[in-house]
């Protein structure tokens, strides 16, 4: 029941926003719908805490410790982003970059995107997972090109083609998975695509077929995770789309894509009797970290800078899950949570910073503390958090990843450490002059909404200091899924 | 190995035809002809789906054959042709350099696909599953086409050819995905084409052409 | 048995020599009809031959023995090729000596002598034609071999009669997707090898585009007659190879009885009629490709043949 509400609210909201159109109250409606979704998720979470995992609609949808916290995270960030986007988009409209019709498209697509992600997270059916991932791509394509500038259209086209191709490969992987499962689980019903059934029977699945399927699934969904070398769409889409979209892309969509990869990895692990999937994840993860760090140095655009930082962090998570084992998986799950919160907070702050300066070029943004101290502090604290400074939560998860790497794969530790250090220097060196320094930029026409930024950062800080019992229990149980 | 049944042979021939069309697409310069080839590909898909449905007695495959007929032979080409007319690119020729090299790369991809599918084919419980390699080859060739083309319109056609390869893989190797999933996929494809159509107009509005070499200003730095 | 077989062998060669101009005439007639021209007589090629044989041969001053000898070599190579191809019967002594790969060799020999002779007199056109011919040949030969390999793989032998036997003795109708690929590739090779559209136009004398005609410009009288005859034979041979590989029905397989041969003859004439009409139709419908597009066309043929091989290996493997 709760699942129906969780998915239903944004779907109905999308229709509602598309129909009622560009009313003056549309942003508030958007916030209300997101809040309703969040409340439904809260009810769901309460039920899971009381009664454990649930499944619904003929087992087509399910909630287990692995996806429950991601659902909660998605709804939360979805809500705060809606809160943030209200003043942000007003300012954009005041600057004349958006028309009313585009805003209507934006609000409607935003809710559709949320619905797609929530379906992807809660569905038990790998076929639906694919459909939802594709729907999430389709709904964000038009969001990325919202400004209709040359650069945004180019970015959206790249995003569309690259992710479309990637997701097509994932479909091929899904088909192969179905081929392998059909023999074991019976073809005609839906059973052969249900993740729980596959998980139960994973030991008997044909290893060669599953191995091939996993390669396709990893490359396919990995494109959406932004793993190097298939990450090309990511910086463009983040930089050229409106900031709320960058925030949800980075904070949520990448997580959902990684979630899809991991669900497949659990099955592949069980069927293959080898650590090949783990090694592939480690390889892609490490490559992404190194690649992103290298390109961090050359960025001139504030949103591109943090987009590359997202690639780097997705790489760290992928590497962590690749190592496997309870500790590394725990760290990976924690990192998914804190990265999502921190990165969306940074994008909020960066968006307002760019609005204040009238440009996204970092050498044009100066003296944020002077014009809007809250934006300046938000950006600064967010940057410190994402760079892994204690006591923020990112520090905890990165520390866990590094220590596990040191124990299990010592060769990877120096690569990770150097990358993290280089990323630190690159990002901090650029953010520092933006926050401090002198400026004559005028203040914004509407007061910026920095509440979401500090809520997110507060949560990250809290997670760095102590993790709530329920959450750490979920992490532990979910990490247990990864232990073969 | 026992001789395959007649229907399996027909299916293999259809798979061969699909591969042939993929290569033709790779070398075709006229956008108009590409749409025709796409229609042919859809027709081959419908025939093969009907064949599988009839031999395996699977009623839900009849539905998906009808769905394919409507979507891939009817609606999508119609949309594409309409778009071409409205964009005035019916007579567009795309300069393709070095078709022989492209063909040889394509051949390499086919070998790669067949090699990749070999272990799965070796386990085949049905004769039909042997077509998996061809399906994979069609998919990879469509990918190559997307990479090699410089016009937005032809990239989209490559995209649809990719989808066709996937559909062929699904019908011939597993007797089709569950109906609900297939409907979802069909919906996604349809919406995707609509968005592509919207995009054509945006691109042309901004760049006065559908040539993608204009869309190369965002670099990785 | 023994001497009768050799007699039949001779008969097959004579039949090829006799039928080849007729086939060329038929293609020409079909083409003319399709293009709304008044068609030349079916016997036009024979009249051309008679006219040429009655003329006095003129030779260039610096023509060597190569120039004079080439027409005979080319003609002989084509007749030998006709002896190998089981156009009427599979009981061919010559086919036991030489297989399909030797056949490709014979075509290559003819091509090489033709090109050398064209270069011999040292005119600009001859050299140009020879170079173009060699380029086309360089591309068609691998494609032709690949087409043949398709058939070899299926029959498990390189002997053409055995391939025919294999196809004809199969109990049930079998579809071979790989043969479909090979057939398309073969038609493309046939067009290119025989100087047909879209690679070359057999009726043109436009300097910039001609290939085959450029090589024969310096020839006259009986030399020219032999060369023309050889090129018609080549087309005939190619058609017969096509029948052997893809449509062997009607060819006499068991022993050589006059009845079987007569039946085979009828079938052959019928198949030639259809093939000639199809060729004319195709030529009318297509436009000549620019010369630098020819490699593209032929790579396509090669590729299709290789694809046929791959498909065969995949589906049987």
Q: Which residues in chain C (164-193) have CB-CB distances under 8 A to chain B?
A: 172-178, 180-181, 184
| Residue A59 contacts B where some CB pair is shorter than 8 Å | no
Q: What average pLDDT does this structure show over C112-130?
A: 84
- Residue B2's pLDDT band (cuts 50, 70, 90): very low
Residue A410 carries which DSSP code? T
Nearest to B19 by CA among B46, B32, B37: B37
* Residues of chain B by 3-state class (helix, strand, coil), percent to 5: 80, 0, 20
Residue A326 scores a pLDDT above 50: yes
CA distances from B159 to A56, A162, B196, C53, C174 (A): 35, 10, 10, 62, 34
Return d(Cα A434, Cα A349) in angstroms, integer: 12
**Higher pLDDT, residue C210 or C67:** C67
**pLDDT score, position B127:** 54
**pLDDT score, position C57:** 79
Q: Are the Cβ atoms of A240 and B218 closer than 8 angstroms? A: yes
SS3 assignment, position A301: strand
**pLDDT score, position A380:** 92
C256 touches C7 (CB < 8 A): no
Whether the link from the prior residue into A229 is cis, omega within 30° of 0, is yes
Any residues with CB less than 8 A from the CB of B88 and at least 6 apart, and which? none
Which string of b and e fits A37-68 if b means at least 16 CB within 10 Å?
A: bbebbeebbebbeeeeebbeeeebbbbbbbbb
Angle made by CA atoms A200, A205, A209, in degrees to the nearest 5: 140
Chain A residues within 8 A of B159 when measuring between CB atoms: 161, 164-165, 168
Q: What is the ipTM of this complex?
A: 0.90
Chain B residues within 8 A of A150 when measuring between CB atoms: 206-207, 214, 217
**pLDDT score, position C208:** 67
A148, A175, A190: residue with CB nearest B173: A175
Distance (Å) from the C-alpha of residue C161 to the closest C-alpha of chain B? 24
Q: What average pLDDT does this structure show over C15-28?
A: 87
B129, B196, B221: residue with CB nearest A295: B221
Return d(Cα A373, Cα A259) in angstroms, integer: 37
Residue A130 scores a pLDDT above 70: yes
Q: Are the Cβ atoms of B107 and C303 closer than 8 angstroms? A: yes
Any residues with CB less than 8 A from the CB of A220 and at least 6 apart, and which? A166, A167, A168, A169, A170, A171, A172, A173
Q: Mutate which of B52, B57, B120, B210 to disrupt the A interface (most A C-beta within 10 Å)?
A: B120
Chain C residues within 8 A of B124 when measuring between CB atoms: none
A402 touches A416 (CB < 8 A): yes
Q: Per residue in A153-170, pLDDT tens?
A: 889 988 988 888 888 899
Phi and psi of C203, rounded to 5°? -105, 5
| Residue A232 contacts B where some CB pair is shorter than 8 Å | yes
Return d(Cα B63, Cα A102) in angstroms, integer: 38
Q: Mutate which of C175, C179, C182 to disrupt the B interface (most B C-beta within 10 Å)?
A: C175
Q: Mutate which of C177, C178, C179, C181 to disrupt the B interface (most B C-beta within 10 Å)?
A: C177
Nearest to A395 by CA among A430, A422, A424, A426: A424
Q: Are the Cβ atoms of A125 and B181 closer than 8 angstroms? A: yes
**pLDDT score, position A80:** 94
Question: Looking only at Cα atoms, what is the longest distance across chain B?
Answer: 60
**Higher pLDDT, residue C157 or C209:** C157
Residue B93 carries which DSSP code? B
**A and C: touch, per 3+ CB pairs < 8 A?**
no
**pLDDT score, position B138:** 92
Q: Count how many residues are written for chain A.
A: 484
A253 touches A343 (CB < 8 A): no
| High-pLDDT (> 90) share of chain C, % | 2
Return d(Cα C228, Cα C71) in angstroms, integer: 9
SS3 assignment, position A149: coil
| Residue A160 contacts B where some CB pair is shorter than 8 Å | yes
Residue C28 scores a pLDDT above 60: yes
Q: What average pLDDT does this structure show over B113-123?
A: 79
Q: Per residue in A256-300, pLDDT tens?
A: 999 999 999 999 988 888 888 999 999 999 999 999 999 998 888
Residue B75 scores a pLDDT above 70: yes
Distance (Å) from the C-alpha of residue C282 to the closest C-alpha of chain B? 18
Q: Are the Cβ atoms of A138 and B192 closer than 8 angstroms? A: yes
**Higher pLDDT, residue A282 or A207:** A282
| Residue B15 contacts C where some CB pair is shorter than 8 Å | yes
Return d(Cα A89, Cα A197) in angstroms, integer: 44
CA distances from A57 to A61, A124, A195, A372, B123 (A): 6, 10, 14, 49, 34
| Residue C313 contacts B where some CB pair is shorter than 8 Å | yes
**pLDDT score, position B107:** 87
Q: Are strands A61-63 and A54-56 parallel, antiparallel or unpaired?
A: antiparallel
C119 touches C126 (CB < 8 A): yes
Q: For the ranges A100-104, A279-283, C172-176, which has the lowest average pLDDT?
A: C172-176
A158 to chain B: nearest residue by CA?
A: B215
Q: Mutate which of B181, B185, B215 to disrupt the A interface (most A C-beta within 10 Å)?
A: B181
Return d(Cα C238, Cα C303) in angstroms, integer: 20
Chain C residues within 8 A of B23 when measuring between CB atoms: 300, 303-304, 307
Q: Are the Cβ atoms of C310 and B13 closer than 8 angstroms? A: no
**pLDDT score, position A484:** 63
Q: What average pLDDT does this structure show over C258-262?
A: 79
How many C-beta neighbours within 10 Å does residue C115 have?
21
Angle made by CA atoms A387, A85, A242, in degrees to the nearest 5: 70
Distance (Å) from the C-alpha of residue B150 to the closest C-alpha of chain C? 20
* One-character DSSP codes across A37-106: HHHHHHHHHHHHHHH--EEETTTTEEE-HHHHHHHHHHHHHHHHHHHHHHHHHHHHHHTTS--HHHHHHH
A266 touches A294 (CB < 8 A): no
B130 to chain C: nearest residue by CA?
A: C315
B120, B159, B202: residue with CB nearest A153: B202
Residue C206 scores a pLDDT above 70: no
Return d(Cα B84, Cα C12) in angstroms, integer: 57
Chain C residues within 8 A of B1 when measuring between CB atoms: 316
SS3 assignment, position A448: coil
Q: Per residue in A353-390, pLDDT tens?
A: 888 888 888 888 888 888 888 888 999 999 999 998 88
C21 touches C229 (CB < 8 A): yes
Residue A454 scores a pLDDT above 50: yes
Burial of C135 (0-12, 13-18, 19+ CB in 10 A): middle
| High-pLDDT (> 90) share of chain A, % | 46
Q: What average pLDDT does this structure show over C278-307?
A: 81
Distance (Å) from the C-alpha of residue B71 to the closest C-alpha of chain A? 17
B104 touches A126 (CB < 8 A): no
Return d(Cα A38, Cα A26) in angstroms, integer: 18
Q: Are the Cβ atoms of A295 and B220 closer than 8 angstroms? A: yes
Return d(Cα A312, Cα A225) in angstroms, integer: 11
Return d(Cα B220, Cα C81) in angstroms, integer: 61
Q: Are the Cβ atoms of B9 and C175 closer than 8 angstroms? A: yes
Return d(Cα A18, Cα A4) in angstroms, integer: 21
Q: Per residue in B150-191, pLDDT tens?
A: 788 888 888 889 988 988 888 887 777 777 778 878 888 888
Phi and psi of A361, rounded to 5°? -70, 130
Q: How far is CA A231 from the centre of its chain?
A: 14
- Residue A394's pLDDT band (cuts 50, 70, 90): very high
Residue B128 scores a pLDDT above 60: no
Angle made by CA atoms C121, C127, C128, in degrees to the nearest 5: 150
B143, B181, B195: residue with CB nearest A127: B181
Return d(Cα C149, Cα C136) in angstroms, integer: 20
Distance (Å) from the C-alpha of residue B181 to the closest C-alpha of chain A? 6
What pTM was computed for the model?
0.86
Of all helices (H) and strands (E), which one includes residue B59? helix B59-68
| Residue C140 contacts B where some CB pair is shorter than 8 Å | no
| Residue A216 contacts B where some CB pair is shorter than 8 Å | no
Q: Per residue in A431-451, pLDDT tens?
A: 988 888 777 777 777 777 788
Any residues with CB less than 8 A from the CB of C61 and at least 6 apart, and which? none
Task: Give the start-end residues of each E strand in chain C.
Answer: none
SS3 assignment, position A413: helix
Chains near C (3 or more Cβ pairs under 8 Å): B
The number of C-alpha atoms within 13 Å of A131 and in the hemisphere containing its C-beta is 24
Q: Are the Cβ atoms of A150 and B166 closer than 8 angstroms? A: no
Return d(Cα A238, Cα A247) in angstroms, integer: 8
Residue C1 scores a pLDDT above 60: no
Interface A-B: count of C-beta contacts within 8 A: 129
Q: Which residues in chain B (94-133) have CB-CB distances under 8 A to chain C?
A: 99-100, 103-104, 106-107, 110-111, 114, 117-118, 121-122, 130-131, 133
Which string of b and e fits A217-240 if b means at least 16 CB within 10 Å?
A: bbbbbbbbbbbbebbbbbbbbbbb
**pLDDT score, position A422:** 93
Burial of A93 (0-12, 13-18, 19+ CB in 10 A): middle
Return d(Cα A63, Cα A80) in angstroms, integer: 23
**pLDDT score, position B221:** 52
Q: What average pLDDT does this structure show over A415-419?
A: 93
Task: Round the average pLDDT of chain B to a whole number and report it.
Answer: 81
Q: Mutate which of C173, C295, C297, C311 to disrupt the B interface (most B C-beta within 10 Å)?
A: C311
pLDDT winner (highest mean) among A22-26, A54-58, A236-240: A236-240
Chain B residues within 8 A of C180 when measuring between CB atoms: 13, 16-17, 20
Q: Count how many residues are written for chain C.
A: 317
CA atoms A87, A91, A93, A98: torsion sign: negative
Q: Are the Cβ atoms of C299 and B100 closer than 8 angstroms? A: yes
| Residue B20 contacts C where some CB pair is shorter than 8 Å | yes
**pLDDT score, position A386:** 93
| High-pLDDT (> 70) share of chain C, % | 93
**pLDDT score, position B124:** 60
Q: How far is CA A261 from the centre of its chain?
A: 13
Reading phi first (left if > 0) and then psi (alpha if -120 to 50, else beta), residue C122 is in left
Burial of C215 (0-12, 13-18, 19+ CB in 10 A): buried
C177, C303, C315: residue with CB nearest B23: C303
Nearest to C88 by CA among C235, C275, C263: C263
A148, A183, A295: residue with CB nearest B202: A148
């Amino acid at each position: 029941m709760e699942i129906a509400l969780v998915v239903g609210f944004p779907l109905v909201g999308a229709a509602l926003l598309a129909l009622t159109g560009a009313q003056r109250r549309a942003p508030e409606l958007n916030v209300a719908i997101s809040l309703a979704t969040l409340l439904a998720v809260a009810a769901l979470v309460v039920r899971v805490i009381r009664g454990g995992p649930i499944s619904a609609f003929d087992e087509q949808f399910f909630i287990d410790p692995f996806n429950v916290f991601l659902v909660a995270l998605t709804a939360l960030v979805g809500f705060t982003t809606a809160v943030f986007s209200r003043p942000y988009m007003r300012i954009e409209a005041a600057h004349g970059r958006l028309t009313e019709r585009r805003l209507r498209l934006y609000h409607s697509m935003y809710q559709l995107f949320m619905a797609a992600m929530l379906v992807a997270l809660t569905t038990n059916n790998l076929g639906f997972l694919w459909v939802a991932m594709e729907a999430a791509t389709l709904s964000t394509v038009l969001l990325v090109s919202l400004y209709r500038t040359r650069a945004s259209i180019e970015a959206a086209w790249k995003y569309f083609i690259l992710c479309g191709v990637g997701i097509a490969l994932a479909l091929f992987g899904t088909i192969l998975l179905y081929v392998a499962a059909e023999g074991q689980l019976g073809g005609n019903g839906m059973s052969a695509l249900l993740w729980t059934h596959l998980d139960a029977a994973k030991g008997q699945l044909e290893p060669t077929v599953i191995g091939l399927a996993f390669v396709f699934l990893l490359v396919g969904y990995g494109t959406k995770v932004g793993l190097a070398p298939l990450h090309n769409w990511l910086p463009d889409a983040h930089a050229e789309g409106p900031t709320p979209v960058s925030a949800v892309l980075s904070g949520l969509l990448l997580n959902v894509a990684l979630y899809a990869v991991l669900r497949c990895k659990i099955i592949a692990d069980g069927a293959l009797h080898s650590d090949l999937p783990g090694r592939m994840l480690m390889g892609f993860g490490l490559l992404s970290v190194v690649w992103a760090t290298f390109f961090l140095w050359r960025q001139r655009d504030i949103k591109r800078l943090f987009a590359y930082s997202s690639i780097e962090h997705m790489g760290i998570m992928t590497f962590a899950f690749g190592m496997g084992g309870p500790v590394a998986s725990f760290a990976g799950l924690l990192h998914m949570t804190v990265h999502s919160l921190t990165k969306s907070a940074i994008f909020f702050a960066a968006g307002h910073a760019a609005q204040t300066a009238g440009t996204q070029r970092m050498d044009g943004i100066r003296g944020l503390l002077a014009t809007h101290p809250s934006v300046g502090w938000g950006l600064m604290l967010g940057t410190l958090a994402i760079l892994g400074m204690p006591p923020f939560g990112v520090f905890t998860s990165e520390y866990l990843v590094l220590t596990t790497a040191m124990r299990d794969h010592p060769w990877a530790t120096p690569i990770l450490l150097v990358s993290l250090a280089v990323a630190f220097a690159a990002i901090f060196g650029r953010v520092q002059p933006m926050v401090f320094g002198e400026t004559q930029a005028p203040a914004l026409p509407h007061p910026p909404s920095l509440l979401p930024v500090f809520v997110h950062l507060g949560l990250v800080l809290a997670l760095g200091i102590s993790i709530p019992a329920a959450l750490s229990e979920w992490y532990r149980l979910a990490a247990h899924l990864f232990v073969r | 190995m026992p001789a395959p049944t007649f229907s399996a042979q027909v299916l293999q021939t259809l798979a061969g035809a699909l591969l042939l069309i993929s290569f033709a697409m790779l070398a075709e310069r006229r956008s108009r002809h590409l749409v025709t080839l796409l229609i042919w590909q859809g027709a081959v898909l419908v025939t093969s789906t009907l064949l599988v449905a009839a031999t395996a007695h699977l009623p839900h495959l009849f539905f998906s054959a009808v769905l394919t007929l409507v979507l891939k032979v009817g609606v999508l080409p119609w949309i594409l042709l309409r778009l071409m007319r409205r964009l005035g690119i019916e007579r567009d020729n795309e300069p393709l350099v070095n078709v022989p090299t492209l063909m040889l790369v394509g051949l390499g991809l086919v070998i790669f696909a067949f090699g990749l599918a070999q272990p799965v084919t070796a386990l085949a419980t049905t004769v039909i599953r042997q077509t998996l390699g061809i399906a994979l080859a069609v998919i990879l060739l469509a990918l190559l086409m997307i990479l090699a083309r410089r016009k937005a319109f032809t990239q989209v056609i490559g995209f649809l050819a990719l989808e066709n390869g996937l559909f062929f893989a699904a019908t011939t190797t597993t007797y089709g995905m569950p109906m609900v999933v297939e409907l979802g996929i069909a919906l996604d494809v349809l919406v995707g084409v609509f968005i592509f159509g919207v995009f054509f107009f945006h691109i042309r509005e901004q760049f006065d052409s559908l040539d993608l070499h204009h869309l190369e200003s965002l670099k990785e730095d | 048995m023994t001497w009768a077989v050799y007699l039949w062998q001779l008969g097959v060669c004579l039949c090829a020599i006799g039928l080849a101009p007729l086939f060329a005439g038929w293609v020409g007639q079909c083409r003319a009809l399709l293009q709304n021209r008044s068609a030349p007589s079916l016997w036009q090629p024979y009249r051309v031959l008679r006219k040429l044989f009655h003329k006095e041969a003129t030779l260039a001053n610096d023509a060597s023995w190569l120039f004079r000898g080439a027409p005979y070599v080319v003609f002989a190579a084509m007749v030998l090729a006709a002896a190998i191809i089981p156009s009427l019967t599979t009981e061919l002594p010559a086919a036991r000596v030489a297989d399909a790969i030797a056949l490709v060799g014979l075509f290559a020999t003819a091509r090489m002598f033709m090109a050398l002779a064209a270069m011999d007199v040292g005119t600009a056109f001859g050299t140009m034609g020879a170079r173009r011919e060699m380029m086309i040949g360089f591309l068609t030969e691998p494609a032709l071999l690949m087409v043949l390999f398709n058939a070899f793989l299926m029959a498990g032998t390189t002997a053409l009669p055995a391939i025919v036997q294999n196809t004809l003795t199969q109990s049930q109708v079998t579809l071979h997707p790989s043969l479909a690929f090979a057939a398309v590739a073969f038609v493309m090779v046939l067009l290119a090898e025989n100087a047909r559209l879209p690679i070359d136009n057999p009726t043109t004398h436009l300097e910039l585009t001609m290939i085959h005609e450029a090589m024969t410009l310096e020839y006259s009288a009986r030399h020219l007659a032999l060369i023309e005859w050889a090129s018609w034979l080549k087309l005939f041979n190619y058609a017969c190879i096509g029948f052997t590989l893809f449509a062997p029905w009607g060819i006499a397989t068991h022993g050589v009885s006059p009845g079987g041969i007569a039946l085979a003859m009828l079938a052959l004439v019928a198949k030639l009629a259809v093939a000639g009409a199809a060729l004319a139709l195709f030529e009318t419908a297509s436009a000549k490709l620019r010369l630098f597009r020819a490699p593209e066309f032929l790579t396509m043929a090669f590729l299709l043949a290789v694809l046929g091989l791959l498909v065969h290996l995949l589906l049987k493997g």
